[in-house]
Every structure is written in structure tokens, then in C-alpha cells.
Structure 1
Amino acid sequence: MSSKVEAAISAKGKVLIGYLPVGFPTLEDSIEAAVALVESGVDILELGVPYSDPVMDGLVIQEATQVALANGFKLPQAIEAVKKITARVDIPVLLMTYFNPVIQYGVDKFASDLAAAGGAGLITPDLIPEEAGEWLAAAEKYDLDRVFLAAPSSTDERLAQAVQKSRGFVYAVSTMGITGARQDVDVAAKSLVARLRSVGATHVGVGVGISNGTQVREVLAYGDGAIVGSALVKSLNDGGIDSLRSVAEELAQGK
């Protein structure tokens, strides 16, 4: 059993992880945008599954996912997108999804279909390790990575559980609250990563608030992966794929 994400981090040392929602502005456009990210220096793709109640997402991502839903996005399209992207680029592709759609789809079937499409695994922002038994079993069965979130407010016990149950990396949420690009990455991130290391984390991705190459460099001084979402979604929304490429290339200079 091998982790595509861990292999990518081990090979590169430090990685840029780029987030885009599936289906924005259209399904085909989101596939092209994801491929453009890889061509522009992103090492791991994080594809967001549009959801009707995205409680952890900032306004930029919320608005993009609402466009996808209004265009008729359905969960099987996320699997379709993964399949088309992995046919064109050779990097790990993770889906980030609230867990209720996976339950509705069927946890084992979803894991099986994701693996068959070439997906690397799932990031599950609203699923805690203690309640993830069915997903963990399916992930083990189909050799998928599972990424749990850790926040500055988490107890050491909760951080240890996230580290123990994650495979690929642990997702350190650098600021309290919802996602969105910020001028300064919260100092809490550095402390959180140190706490995760102290309970055994070997690979930590840091997200929420990174918007430029300088911040990527700052985060990679102590984290293994810099996760960028809102800044990329905004660039795609404002200037299309050309703008997205430009922003991704600037971010990649921080590696």
C-alpha cells in the first residue's frame, strides 16, 4: 500500500498544493484549469466538490461553488474530472469534500470509483477521525490517502488522532475561521505545525490565507506543503486560465 501524496512530497521535499472547485465555471473549464495549474508548477491538486452548505469556505470559493451547483453539478462529475485530469498529468489529485455527499453516494462505491479514476484520496474538512471508521476502511481497501484537518484550537489529543489517521499529510488550518487569501499568514500556523510534529506528523500541509510566492516560501520554511485556494479561484474568476497560470507561476517561485 503506497501513498501517492507522500511519494510526491518525498520526491520534491516541499510542494505547492493548488485548490480549485470542480465545475467552475464549467466542468470542462475546471478540468482545463486544473491541468494549467500543474503545467504552471503546482505539485498536488486539491479539487473541491461543490456543496450546498460550505460552512468552512470563504466567499470567493462559496461563490464559485454556487456557480457550479447552478450549472447542475452532480457528484459523479467530480470522479469524471479526476479521470480526465489524471489521464493528462502525472501528479496526485485529491478531492476535498464535505462528507454527506460521500455518504449519499455510498462510501465504499465512492472510494472504489475514485481509485479507478486515478484519484489519490480525500480531504474531509468536516469529518473527525473518531467518526471516520467507514471511510478509513474504504480508503485502506482501495489504497487511498486520507487527509484530516488540524486547527490551532485542537487539543493535543485531537492532533495526535489526526496524525495517526491521516495518510498523505495532515492539513494544518493556519487561521481560525473560514478560508480566504490574507496579507499575512497567521503566526498560529507555525505553532500548530510544531505541535503536529511533536505528536508524530511527518508531512504537514498548511492552508488558509496564502496568496503569493513570498508566503509560500515562509510556509515551506516549516511546513511540507503550501496549500493555496482562494487566490487561485479569484484569478480564474477574474481573468480566466491565462490569469490563473500567471498567479500559479508566481506562487511556484516560492518553492
Structure 2
Amino acid sequence: MTRIDAKFAALKAEGKKAFVAYMMAGDPDYDKSLEIMKALPEAGVDVIELGQPFTDPMADGPTIQRAGQRALESGQTLQKTLDMATEFRKTDDTTPIVMMGYYNPIYSRGVDRFLVDAKAAGIDGLIVVDLPPEEDDELCIPAQKAGLNFIRLATPTTDDKRLPKVLQNTSGFVYYVSITGITGAAEAQATDVGPEVARIKAQTDLPVIVGFGINTPDTAENIASVADGCVVGSAIVKQIGEGKSVAQVAAFVKSLSDGAHRA
């Protein structure tokens, strides 16, 4: 059982929904980014999604693209992202960390080496947005063998024919993208999301977490009420991009997590 599995089992036992927070590793720089990461569990974050900056982030909207650019300009690398996880684990051995990004940095490092290093750093799961299920032998199956969850995205365009393929080797949770398009583009609506979550849950026992288009405590509550939890990314990254202090970012995150936990 991974930390992700344990966390969702504990939340289910408490009758609580999950709040997942995304942040870009190394934004605006390594030290402040690590401080923010360390503040997230206290702010009510159940799972941390740690973005790995990449030069060609095709699924990300402008807010997260700019965060990736800031991180790369400050010298963030895949190794430094693993170092952040290692540092975080010195004081927190329970909060799950999901590394989210693109395949190129992992491929460049070498899959076998990356998986050994990620596991040693305390990474629990991976979301790699540009590796479809047809490429499962590339990273997904080796990752699961190494004890890491491999989390897939389902979207409004994932029809009933495609869904079983998407779910086939998924573990940890299913990330449902509430809107078509890029991150930070529109607001998620519970009336649209609810039936889609039910459709996915009819085909899997995994928790279904909804992301994209959630930027207020009320939206977090509404979306979490029709799913197993929600993810907020762009709204948090925007606060960091505006130069807010660690305490200000943490307070904003807490308002969102309180919303999700009310659901």
C-alpha cells in the first residue's frame, strides 16, 4: 500500500473528501518553493502534486506555464525536484507526493534510474500527461512494479469505449479533468462533473478526484461534493506568481481545503 492508498483509505474511514494541491517545484526559486511545500499539510492539503517544470508544457495554461518558466530560470532541474521531496520527507513521512509533468525529463534521466531515485526521495505516484495507455510498457508498468502509483487523466472527451483503456493500469486515483482545454481556462460546474464522475466510478473502485477550473472555496466544496475530492493548481500557482508570502499562500490554500473538507 502506498501513502496515496493509505491516505484515501483514512479519508474514506473519516467520511472526508480529499483536497489535493498542485505547486510547481522551484517556483519562484528552490528555497521558497520548499517552504511552501512544507506549509501545505498544515494548510489542510491531503495530497501534494509537485510539478516538474518542462520547456514545452502543452497541457498547461498560461499561469502554470509562467510558473514553469520561472522555475527553469531559477535553475530547477529534475534532480532538484527529487531533492525537494527528500527534504520534505525529513519532517513529513505521511503526506503523499505525486510528481506531475512530462515524459522527456524522465526519459533523459533513464526510466530505471529515475524510478529508483524517485522512490528513494519519497515520491508516491506519477502523473505523466503525454504518455497515453498505449505506451504503458514505457513507464507506467515499471513504475507500478517499483511501488509507485501511476495516475491517469480522464476528460469529458474520454468516451465509454476509451475509458476502460485509460483505467486499465491506473492506480492511486483517477484524475478527472472537468473541462476541455488547458489548465486555468474556465470554472468547473458540479452539474456537469457529477454525472461524469458517476460514469467513471461505475467502472473502477479507485477514488475519482476532479481538477481544472477550481479557484474558490465554494467551487472546491461543490466539486468535492460530487467526487472523492478536488485538485487546485492554477489558483495557488497564481498566488505564488504574485509574490505572496509563504504565510499568505498557506492561508489561501487553507481556505480552499476548508471548502473541500466541508463537502
2:23 to 20, 25, 37: 20
CA contact (8 A) 2:171 2:206 kept: no
**Structure 2 Cα separation of the partners of residues 15 and 184 of structure 1:** 17
With normalisation by structure 2, the TM-score equals: 0.92
CA contact (8 A) 1:216 1:226 kept: yes
CA contact (8 A) 2:30 2:74 kept: no
Percent identity reads 36
**Structure 2 Cα separation of the partners of residues 65 and 250 of structure 1:** 25
2:255 to 231, 250, 253: 250
Instruction: After TM superposition, give the deviation of residue 140 of structure 1 in Å.
Output: 2.5
- Tell me whether 1:192 sits opposite 2:196 in the alignment: yes
SS in 2 for 1:9: helix
Instruction: After TM superposition, give the deviation of residue 190 of structure 1 in Å.
Output: 2.2
The more displaced of 208-217 and 235-244 is: 235-244
Residue correspondence of structure 1 range 40-51 to structure 2 within 5 A: 40-51=43-54
CA contact (8 A) 1:108 1:135 kept: no
**Structure 1 Cα separation of the partners of residues 67 and 187 of structure 2:** 21
SS in 2 for 1:134: coil
CA contact (8 A) 1:97 1:124 kept: yes
1:79 to 82, 105, 112: 82
**Structure 2 Cα separation of the partners of residues 235 and 229 of structure 1:** 10
Residue correspondence of structure 1 range 121-132 to structure 2 within 5 A: 121-132=125-136
- Tell me whether 1:106 sits opposite 2:110 in the alignment: yes
1:120 to 119, 124, 127: 124
With normalisation by structure 1, the TM-score equals: 0.94
Instruction: After TM superposition, give the deviation of residue 137 of structure 1 in Å.
Output: 2.9
Instruction: Look up the match of 1:138.
Output: 142
- Tell me whether 1:39 sits opposite 2:39 in the alignment: no
**Structure 2 Cα separation of the partners of residues 19 and 157 of structure 1:** 30
**Structure 2 Cα separation of the partners of residues 183 and 160 of structure 1:** 27
Instruction: Look up the match of 1:66.
Output: 69
**Structure 2 Cα separation of the partners of residues 186 and 105 of structure 1:** 40
CA contact (8 A) 2:20 2:230 kept: yes
**Structure 2 Cα separation of the partners of residues 27 and 181 of structure 1:** 27
Instruction: After TM superposition, give the deviation of residue 187 of structure 1 in Å.
Output: 4.2
The more displaced of 38-47 and 182-191 is: 182-191
Instruction: After TM superposition, give the deviation of residue 79 of structure 1 in Å.
Output: 0.8
CA contact (8 A) 1:9 1:15 kept: yes
Superposed CA RMSD: 1.5
**Structure 2 Cα separation of the partners of residues 40 and 181 of structure 1:** 25
**Structure 2 Cα separation of the partners of residues 202 and 141 of structure 1:** 18
Residue 236 of structure 1 aligns with an amino acid whose one-letter code is I
**Structure 2 Cα separation of the partners of residues 222 and 185 of structure 1:** 10
Number of positions where the alignment pairs a residue of Structure 1 with one of Structure 2: 254
Shift in CA distance, 93/185, structure 1 to aligned 2, threshold 3 Å: same
Residue 7 of structure 1 aligns with an amino acid whose one-letter code is A
Residue 243 of structure 1 aligns with an amino acid whose one-letter code is Q
**Structure 2 Cα separation of the partners of residues 165 and 17 of structure 1:** 21
Instruction: Look up the match of 1:177.
Output: 181
Instruction: After TM superposition, give the deviation of residue 192 of structure 1 in Å.
Output: 2.2
1:149 to 134, 148, 153: 153
**Structure 2 Cα separation of the partners of residues 157 and 102 of structure 1:** 30
CA contact (8 A) 2:38 2:88 kept: yes
Instruction: After TM superposition, give the deviation of residue 183 of structure 1 in Å.
Output: 4.3
CA contact (8 A) 1:182 1:211 kept: no
